[in-house]
Amino acid sequence: DHRQVLRCWNALKRSDRAPTISLAQAVESMQRFKKDSSFVVRELKAFFKKYPVECGANGINDLLESLAKRLDSDLVEQVIEMMPSMGLKPDQRTYEILLTMQFTTRNFTEVRTLLSTMQSRGISLTTRSTIVAVKAALKTASFEEATRHFSQLKALWSGLSDGATPSTAPRHIVTQLVELACREHQLGEFLPLLEGVPVSEDAVSSMLSECIRRKDPALTSKVEKLVREQGHQLSDATYTLLVKSASNDPGRVQQLFDEVVAKGAILSADFALALLAFCTQTRSMKLADSLFEHMKPKQIPVLSAFIRFYADSEQNEKACDVYEKHLQCLRMSGTAKGDGQPLQQAVCLDARIERSLMSAALRCGRHDLAKNFLDASPSDVAKHITMIRNCAASGNLIGAMKVFETLKSSGTEVNSVVYNTVLDACVECRDLPAAEAWMAQTKSIGLVDVVSYNTLIKAHLQNLNFAKARSLMEEMRSECLQPNRVTFNELVNGLVTRGSPAQRAEIWGIIKEMKAAGVKPNQVTCSILLKSLNAHSNEADILETMDLISAMDEPMDEVLLSSVVEACVRIGKPDLLAQKLKQLHNTDKMSVSGSHTFGSLIKAYGHAKDIDGVWRCWKEMRSRHIRPTSITLGCMVEAVVSNGDTEGAYDLIHQMKEDDRCRDALNAVIYCSVLKGFTREKKMQRVMTVYEEMLNRKVDLSIVTYNTLLDACARCGRMDKAPEIVTEMKSQGIQPNLITYSTMVKGHCQAGDIERGFAMLEEMKNETRLKPDEIMYNSLLDGCAQNNLVDEGLGLLRRMEEEGVAPSNFTLSLLVKLMNRCRKLDSAFSLVQEISAKYRFSPNVHVYSNLIQACVANRQLQRGMTTFSNMLEERVRPESRTYAILVRASITQNQCDQAAGLIRGALGLPGAQPYISEQKTSLAAVNDLDYNLIAETLQGLADKGRVQDLAVPLMSDIKRLQPGLRLDTGLQRRVMSAGLATEAGGVQMTHQKSEHSSYGGSPAFGGRPSNGGNRQNQNRFGNSNNRSDNRSWRS
């Protein structure tokens, strides 16, 4: 009762004795009654003046803490300014409160200022303040500040007597410190600070990965010593990293292997592949044999690696035995045509391993095996209206008509609403002739109105008859009925959703007609127009739509705000969204009155990547004492996570957990946002920490929670945890759904365990009524592509089609990838043609890029260029990867003119012909061409001796026509140096060239073929791209 609180507060002014009250609660009541900060400060000053005994640091700090939790920085600053007049100075706790508040709002500059002030005034940091200082340094990537504050934190722990030690340090902070040290290449300097501080498995992985990158065995030893001294149980991933880091120490690798074997641990594919890589490097046959004997591998990637190792080591019998006795005998867990019979499928190896195996078979006399490989490769109106609508919803138009006749025969007066309801039923049942007949009947009795016309217009729009819809509008006017907002909005919506490109061009003409009729566009109009915008929309249309929103009389509601956000994201213009939000912030167009509206704004700022705007909205909402709902809090957490600050979102959850008024807003969905953030960052331990907290707090877990946990297992390569998670899920009474199985299939396929992926498919089929969808089939197809299982992949495609699951472009790109790996280029093109024609969709850029990649891999660059031309003919815009494949292949095959022409086409520069036709120049240009590809091309042209005629003109045109693309100075210097070297060589060879000019500058006489010589050669042999011709000229 804030009114009563203020009455009591005023009564206290007449009391002579100092009362014992909570100033924080009194101030909150003043703010609830809209008292501004200056009023609150005056009241506080008067209170302390009358009761000096109450003027103590503890009371002030309690007040500040309450204000800081609400992020009321304005009042906090005024209270701080008031303290000197009362003879008080900010102390340790005061600064701790201020630091926490500024860090919460991510104001790191102010955090640094406060820390500097404390240092200059000789005020030491508390444990909590030091942790905030460490976190702030981590967020700003300041390694020096982070280590300094962490050292202070350790010193604080050692001086405490309450049992606090470095072991109580939040492990995620230690992990982030380790990651920052690795990024800054300061791990060696940071390691001593970790003595006595427990480190997580993620931190250990980061440290060992840094040791491998630096190739520093001494640093590896220090990290390993630190881990073992802390009593860590080394995981399989840790052993894998230790093996990789000890690549030059056979004795140490043998010790690690013996240690793993002694523990009886199940060896993972990653560990086996790391050990085999070491065996290949050191020719350690004994260790490889021991690994194979102990592991008895069944994973296809591991068996393939053993085959390659034995073949390369000339252990031909062993290589053939592994293939015939182990790899070839693997049974896939599929069934043929649903008859339940197991399939015995041949395993297709990649080209290199197959060649090695064929050689091994021939060398050891297994000619049949070699031959197999060779052969394999060729009476109440309202009630009646409701009944009519129900009949229409179920498609029963006859029933709707009977209801109308019943109403009419009852003698009740039937008005236009009833007639319009029947008309709407005709439209709902898609019976246009019945609708037109009913309209004529309605018109004959004089009950037709604007609603009648709008309903019939909607029917014609559904049938794509835009001309008839427009003629009905003219008919309305002839009947003295003016089209209203609904009329125009229906017409615009029809054009947006169903119109052809030519018809959609009429949209802005209709908007002008709408304004001329005195009908102002409203929120619905703007939402429809926003729906029409996409990445290919005209800039003028985008700006006109935004201007229309600004010109609206009514304030923007949350639906329209969401449409603005989605449109800006869809067209790829976060800067436009940020501009619109700034404009709304400076006007009163957006009515911000409740938690839901703040949630929409927070979501919008999050999409615009404006994290300051996100925190500004949150701070304003909290300072106005608006309690966040679960939706608002969810928007806030999601916005912070999506902007890369998952730890900050997790901290916010903990702050809400400590707030009595906000604790109830926390739910499983909010926790899931943080789970997904840590999953994307591949931080498995943090994922499990959040999950354990959810269990401890007895949060209602859902299938989404467990699917997110399984996704974390898949992304982090920890599918060994998946069975335990599924068991816990079932113990909670939650049954796996299609996403659950799809996620596990994807995880097993990514881990190289394709057999387990097929087993999950059969388990789902046998134990549930779920049917696999396209995503699950695509995951299995991807696994088949990774393991070169062409027969299984094509079998999956057949099964997919038999079960009525239509393939998509993603499916097609995976099939091309599979055919490429198995060197079946013609089959890849045939599949693309057959499937796209059968399911009536056009191949997208990813399918074309994979086809081009397959052509290059099969040494058919000219076919890849033809595919590129077809791609442009089909008006499919290339991506950066498309050009990377073609340009690199062209340089490798010494087709420098083609490489330079392709780069020119990608950048929209002149001179791309004949490789890109002039009509396709704008379509061929890409906005996000990889800079490294440009640098690589210029360097490649220089290395091939094509500086003056290709590299320098290309570099000059880039600088002149693409000023936004800055070429590295070092690259320019290298290219020009190569050009000068070429010129110098040309001066020395001038006499020779003139003496032998009749030979066209033949290399046999010490020169490089001139352009004319090349042209003569092309005319003579008829193919400038023939590799044998190029070789003959070079020889």
Q: How confident is the model at residue 841 (pLDDT cuts 50, 70, 90)?
A: very high
Residue 995: the pLDDT is 41
Over residues 979-1020, the pLDDT tens digits come to 555 555 554 444 444 444 333 333 332 333 334 443 333 333
**Hey, what are 862's tokens?**
């000219």
**Hey, what are 287's tokens?**
């260790």
Task: Report which of 527, 519, 471, 470 is spatially closest to residue 499, judged by C-alpha positions.
Answer: 470
- What secondary structure letter does DSSP report for 339? S
Residue 851: the pLDDT is 96
Q: Would the pLDDT of 843 be above 80?
A: yes
Q: How confident is the model at residue 591 (pLDDT cuts 50, 70, 90)?
A: low
Residue 248: the pLDDT is 81
Q: Which residue has the higher pLDDT, 504 or 606?
A: 606
262 CB-near residues (< 8 Å, 6+ apart): none
Residue range 903-912: mean pLDDT, rounded: 90
For tokens 């009795």, what's the residue? 445
Instruction: Find out whether 677 and 715 touch, Cβ atoms under 8 Å.
Output: no
Per the rule left: phi > 0, alpha: psi between -120 and 50, beta: everything else, 119 is alpha
Phi, psi of 612 (to 5 degrees): -65, -40
Helix extents (H) in 121-216:
127-139, 143-158, 171-183, 187-190, 201-214
Q: Among 345-349, 690-694, 923-927, which stretch is predicted with the lowest mean pLDDT?
A: 345-349
Helix extents (H) in 367-498:
367-375, 381-393, 397-409, 416-428, 432-444, 450-462, 466-478, 485-498
List, in sequence order, every residue forming a beta bridge with 335; answer none if it has no partner: 342
Residue 1006: the pLDDT is 36
Residue 367: the pLDDT is 66
Residue 1011: the pLDDT is 40
Give me the percent of the chain exceeding a pLDDT of 70. 88
d(C-alpha 716, C-alpha 201), whole Å:
12
Residue range 445-449: mean pLDDT, rounded: 90
Q: Which of 329-343, 525-539, 636-650 has the highest mean pLDDT?
A: 636-650
Q: Would the pLDDT of 652 be above 80?
A: yes
Tell the burial category of 754 from Cβ atoms under 10 Å away from its Cβ (0-12, 13-18, 19+). Answer: buried
Per the rule left: phi > 0, alpha: psi between -120 and 50, beta: everything else, 899 is alpha
Residue 1020: the pLDDT is 30
d(C-alpha 646, C-alpha 640), whole Å:
7
Residue-averaged pLDDT of the chain: 83
Q: How confident is the model at residue 674 (pLDDT cuts 50, 70, 90)?
A: very high
Q: How confident is the model at residue 35 (pLDDT cuts 50, 70, 90)?
A: confident
Q: Which residue has the higher pLDDT, 346 or 258?
A: 258
Residue 588: the pLDDT is 57
Q: Would the pLDDT of 657 be above 70?
A: yes
Distances (CA, A) of 940 to 20, 888, 896, 936: 81, 9, 8, 6
Residue 30: the pLDDT is 87
Residue 654: the pLDDT is 92
Instruction: Find out whether 371 and 404 touch, Cβ atoms under 8 Å.
Output: no
Angle formed at CA 205 by CA 199 and CA 208, multiple of 5 degrees? 105
Over residues 361-389, the pLDDT tens digits come to 767 878 677 667 655 654 567 767 877 88
Q: Would the pLDDT of 804 be above 70?
A: yes
Residue 565: the pLDDT is 74
Q: Which residue has the higher pLDDT, 539 or 1015?
A: 539
Residue range 853-864: mean pLDDT, rounded: 93
d(C-alpha 201, C-alpha 171), whole Å:
10
Q: Among 336-350, 532-546, 794-808, which stretch is predicted with the lowest mean pLDDT?
A: 336-350
Distances (CA, A) of 759 to 59, 795, 956, 990: 66, 15, 58, 72
d(C-alpha 683, C-alpha 195), whole Å:
23
The enclosing H or E element of 604 equals: helix 595-607
* Alpha-carbon dihedral 16, 18, 24, 25, rounded to 10 degrees: -60
d(C-alpha 587, C-alpha 388), whole Å:
47
* HSE, side-chain direction, 13 A CA sphere, residue 503: 17
Q: Would the pLDDT of 978 be above 70?
A: no
Over residues 210-229, the pLDDT tens digits come to 999 888 888 999 999 988 88
Q: How confident is the model at residue 728 (pLDDT cuts 50, 70, 90)?
A: very high
d(C-alpha 927, C-alpha 880), whole Å:
9
Residue 971: the pLDDT is 78
List, in sequence order, every residue forming a beta bridge with 332; answer none if it has no partner: 343
Over residues 770-793, the pLDDT tens digits come to 999 999 999 999 999 888 888 889
